Amino acid sequence: MWQEIDNKLIKEFTFKDFKEAFGFMAKVAAIADELNHHPEWSNVYNKVMIKLSTHSAGDIVTDKDRELAKRIDETV
């Protein structure tokens, strides 16, 4: 479940291994490019942490972030 913390939508995803996590990141990268809205994220082995906010709106959560979060959830 996405949580809104400090004006960011945040979610951690856990996968079987690094290869699966990296594959997920590749899918998210394609979606982010399509929407022209890119996440702040990190990856350590099988975990991917994603933080979403709209920089052009003052680093707050907007409909762009909610749409990207919805699309990300559809890839899992």
Question: Which pLDDT score, from 0 to 100, does residue 29 have?
Answer: 97
Architecture of domain 3-75: 2-Layer Sandwich (3.30)
Entry pTM: 0.93
**Distance, CA of 76 to CA of 61 (rounded, Å):** 22
Q: Could you report the per-residue pLDDT of 15-62, keeping only the tens digit for each?
A: 999 999 999 999 999 999 999 999 999 999 999 999 999 999 999 999
Residue-by-residue DSSP string for 52-69:
E-BGGGTSB--HHHHHHH
